[in-house]
Amino acid sequence: MEIKAENYRKNVAISLAISVVVFVLVLIFATPRVLNNDDFIIHGITSGAYGMPSAITVHTNVILAYLLTVLQRVVPVLNWFSAVEILILFFAFFLFSLLIFDKSRNFRGFLSVLILQFSLAPHFYIELHNSKLLPLVSFCLMFSIFHFSCRKRWFPVVIGIIVAVLSSLIRLNAFLIGAAVAATVNLPHLIRDGKTHDGFSVTEIIKAKKIPIIILSLTVVTVFALSFVDGFVVKRMEGGVEYREYNTARGIVSDFPLPDYNENIEKFNEIGISANDYALLKEWNFADLKKFDKSTLGAISDIRENRSLAEVFGDVKKEVLREASLPFYQTALLFSLLGIVFSDKKERISAVIGPIMQILAIL
């Protein structure tokens, strides 16, 4: 038992150290895009940049928005919304690294953690955006909660639950995507425990995985309870429902690149958007609520830029080449090469997974 406890403490220390080193390297050699689309707007709303601070934001739960509003007043120079995003990313990668070490304490485990951290973590730290990072964060957290609750490792379980609930407050739908993937991955473990000589038994699953099932169920119930509180509070606020609906329409416009104005000038003119109005939209300036009302924003989101397949592939190629030029990705490729050369077949699979996942994350 003492040896296992000592190994576990070493795993925690190594996972934390690697997570900190990668995060510090990102801060030194790169600049996170912390004011990006919705993140910029949410930061502006909670900081009072558009007038009085408001807790009704486009995606976040009002509980988190109230907290962000208070923090912005205390330390206004810091973008607290992005700080929360970075925080949940850090703990998600830390817990998943710890999970890998817990399952494989040899060279393969260490190599897998290095590839994970150097190929995936920098990309999400730099391209910081709530709708992109939450599915990954949710998957890492929910999968880690299941694994460590099975092992009765309560320190990572408690951290996982707290960070999971916090991340669900940012954007529930994106969080549920990752949670659903984690549930699908965990399903074979439950099915295996349910097998009996007579066939299949749900009772056997409950006996074998009672603690993980209870913990995950309570986490999910907490997430949906806070979502219910959000809807209840918004309905009781004066103009809350209308403002939330408007902000949702605004979010759809700001979340994606605007179609080219000159190529779609007739469509923009039909809904009363001039070149000057378009310039304001490019700057995420929605201050003129009469001009950019809910119906107009909906009409803007319906305009889709006609692009050829060659142009789409060209943009993807540029993004992949840009990402491949980053030192973090090149370091991950170096670790992968070492793993392919100095490991067996199973370990070579781990060595290839990280860079491939990085390309998928870009796409």
pLDDT digits (tens, 9 = 90+) for 210-262: 888 889 889 999 999 998 988 888 888 777 777 777 777 777 777 667 777 88
Flag whether the pTM goes above 0.85: no
Same domain, 155 and 262: no
Rg (CA), the chain: 23
> 85 lies in a domain?
yes
Cβ atoms 43, 129 nearer than 8 A: no
Q: Which residues contact 355 (CB under 8 A, 6 or more apart)?
A: 115, 119, 329, 332, 333, 336
Give the pLDDT score at 35: 46
More confident position, 304 or 71: 71
Quote the CA–CA distance of 121 and 229 in Å, as a whole number.
32
Residue 275 predicted with pLDDT over 70? yes
**Are 201 and 102 within one domain?**
yes
265, 208: one domain: no
One domain, residues 65 and 50: yes
Query: In whole angstroms, how far apart are CA 95 and each of 1, 5, 143, 181, 269?
Result: 22, 17, 9, 17, 51
Q: Smallest Cα–Cα separation from 118: which of 354, 334, 332? A: 332
| Residues 324 and 288 occupy one common structural domain | no
CB-count burial class (<10 Å; 0-12, 13-18, 19+) for 236? exposed
Distance CA 283, CA 184 (A): 40
Nearest to 228 by CA among 177, 166, 181, 172: 172
Is 252 part of any domain?
no
Number of domains the chain is built from = 2
- For residue 114, being part of any structural domain is answered with yes
Between residues 357 and 96, the one the model is more confident about: 96
The verdict on residue 274 lying in a domain is: yes
Residues 210 and 64 both lie in one domain: yes
Q: What are phi and psi of 75, to 5 degrees?
A: -130, 80
> Which domain covers residue 357, as residue numbers?
2-241+307-362
Residue 334: inside a domain: yes
* pLDDT higher than 90, residue 91: yes
